[in-house]
Amino acid sequence: MNKNRVRLAIQKSGRLSYDSQNLLQSCGLKINLQKSSLIAFAENMPIDVMLVRDDDIPGLIMDGVVELGIIGSNVLEETCLTRSFIGAPVEYSILQYLDFGVCRLSLSIPLDMHYIGAVCLTNARIATSYPSLLKRYLDKKNIPFKPFVLNGSVEVAYNSGLADAICDLVSTGATLEANGLKEVETIYDSRACLMSREEKTMPIEKIRIIRKLLNRIQGVIKARESKYIMLHIEKNKLNKITNLLKGAEQPTIVELSGNKNKVALHIVSSETVFWETIEQLKSLGASSILVLPIEKMME
């Protein structure tokens, strides 16, 4: 094992696997990931990628086995609570929140149950994969309850007669409805994040590699949420348009051949801002609007 290579743990197979691998590839890492093996080596950066169950990732970092991990903040927070309880170390840093794995941990109850607040869950038997997050939430409200842990198939626990309510991850809520449930409380808002060991526990060579990777990840995320926008506009409307689109940099203005009143404006803006302002852009007379994806964006 080369001491100066950084070990990065990602989920082997599950909801975060594709996005994690895709992010690393977008950062230019050339890795030959094979599902059957635990570890893959990047050819062009001193980084080794470990493929593991997501639940193991925070512990691998906190126990000093790997330096980096991509993990849902829900799993990270749950691990912190359980490790604190048994007195295991919980040191780590969150280097970057990522643009995937967005979901929430919610409490759901039967569709026909009358609900006026968490007090309705008093003494309820609640199935969850996140007992510590659930306990923290209901303890704060002084609600006694009977939790039990299911690592999978939590949503069917009510229909199977095992639970009165469930506490599970939700993104759209469609699965809940299909199982005769409605969401009543959000316990925790989650998204994937890049976490690491604390800098003070690592040699400077590894810190340098991590900073380089982080810089690339930030560039990829920024590029993914940005668009290169080109449009034609009358010169006297330029200020209004640039105020609306508020880009990362000053816009580029290009003369149009054969038209002295109009110019072409090129600007980098967020996709959300673009959609929110499209009607105003049009009413200001913007035409020939083109929106292009950006592959990379470095500061």
Binding site for ligand ATP (CB under 6 A): 11, 14-16, 53-55, 72, 74-75, 101-103, 169, 171, 190
Tell me the closest approach of the beta carbon of residue 73 to Zn ion, in angstroms.
14
Instruction: Round to whole Å and give the CA distance between 195 and 179.
Output: 34
Which DSSP string corresponds to 206-270?
Answer: HHHHHHHHHHHHHHHHHHHTEEEEEEEEEGGGHHHHHHHH--SSPPEEEEETTEEEEEEEEEEEE
> Which residue lies nearest ligand ATP, judged by its C-beta?
72
Tell me the closest approach of the beta carbon of residue 86 to Zn ion, in angstroms.
19
Q: Taking CB within 5 to 8 Å according to partner kind, which of Zn ion, ligand ATP, none is near residue 136? A: none
Q: Taking CB within 5 to 8 Å according to partner kind, which of Zn ion, ligand ATP, none is near residue 70? A: none
Q: Taking CB within 5 to 8 Å according to partner kind, which of Zn ion, ligand ATP, none is near residue 171? A: ligand ATP
Question: Which of 92/274 has CB closer to ligand ATP?
Answer: 92
Residues 6+ apart with CB under 8 A from 95: 68, 193, 194, 195, 196, 210, 214
H/E segment holding residue 205: helix 204-224
Instruction: Round to whole Å and give the CA distance between 297 and 299.
Output: 7
H/E segment holding residue 134: helix 131-140
Point out which span in 50-58, 94-102, 152-160, 266-274 binds Zn ion (CB under 5 A): 50-58
Kindly state whether residue 54 participates in binding Zn ion, applying the rule CB under 5 A: yes
Question: Which of 55/183 has CB closer to ligand ATP?
Answer: 55
Kindly state whether residue 56 participates in binding Zn ion, applying the rule CB under 5 A: no
Instruction: Round to whole Å and give the CA distance between 17 and 30.
Output: 16
Kindly state whether residue 183 participates in binding Zn ion, applying the rule CB under 5 A: no
Q: In the structure encoding, which two tokens stand for residue 123, read together?
A: 């003494």
Question: Residues interacting with Zn ion, by CB under 5 A?
Answer: 54-55
